[in-house]
Amino acid sequence: MIHYQLRCAAGHEFDGWFASCAGFEHQAEKRLVLCPVCADTDITRALMAPSIRPKARPAAASPAAPALPVPGPKPTAGALLPDHLRIALRQIREEVEKRCDYVGPDFANEARRIHYGEAEARGIYGEGSESEIESLADEGIEVSHIPWVKLSDG
Ligand SMILES: [Zn+2]
């Protein structure tokens, strides 16, 4: 939100709040901004005034409209993954399926065998319980957990 000091053609000043600079220009152009005193629609930003006064006040002294950071979308509990994230995860899944061997529930054992050189070194993916994954981490075996998204919608 941007706060403007507004002024009508008759010189009445009042406050206006707009989502952006463009918001004010748009509403003023469409004559949607009314003076609360005389209902005049010829409204200008009072903030513009100092710049037409010669020398009296340097332009730098005029208060600029504060540029507030636009808050991002609020995370909603239980919301679906945003599209871009789902697409990224889908690409990861496709990549993993293309390049890695699926070892199913034997994942932890197979990861251990690879780590200790008992099985061919390769990328694998599969399922493991939390405790299995924890014990892998304890042994210094790095595994990644990838949220497994459906490949198609619905
Ligand atoms: Zn007025």
How would you write the pLDDT of the chain (154 residues) with one tens digit per residue? Answer: 677 788 899 999 888 877 776 777 888 888 888 888 999 899 888 754 433 445 544 444 445 444 555 555 544 444 567 788 788 888 888 888 888 888 988 889 999 999 999 998 888 888 888 888 889 889 988 887 777 777 776 5
Find the 3 Cα to ligand 1 centroid distance in Å: 18
Domain count, the chain: 2
Give the pLDDT score at 47: 54
Find the 7 Cα to ligand 1 centroid distance in Å: 7
Question: Is the domain of 51 the same as that of 89?
Answer: no
Give the pLDDT score at 112: 92
Question: Is the domain of 90 the same as that of 129?
Answer: yes
Question: Is the domain of 87 the same as that of 48?
Answer: no
Find the 9 Cα to ligand 1 centroid distance in Å: 6
Give the pLDDT score at 68: 52
Judge whether 77 lies within some domain.
no
Give the pLDDT score at 117: 93
Judge whether 69 lies within some domain.
no
Find the 20 Cα to ligand 1 centroid distance in Å: 23
Question: What residues does 16 pair with on adjacent strands?
Answer: 4
pTM of the predicted structure, to 2 decimals: 0.44
Judge whether 40 lies within some domain.
yes
Q: Which two tokens stand for residue 21?
A: 């600079």
Question: Is the domain of 97 the same as that of 134?
Answer: yes
Judge whether 154 lies within some domain.
no
Give the pLDDT score at 153: 63
Judge whether 122 lies within some domain.
yes
Domain residue limits at 117: 83-138
Question: Is the domain of 6 the same as that of 57?
Answer: yes
Question: Is the domain of 53 the same as that of 20?
Answer: yes
Judge whether 151 lies within some domain.
no
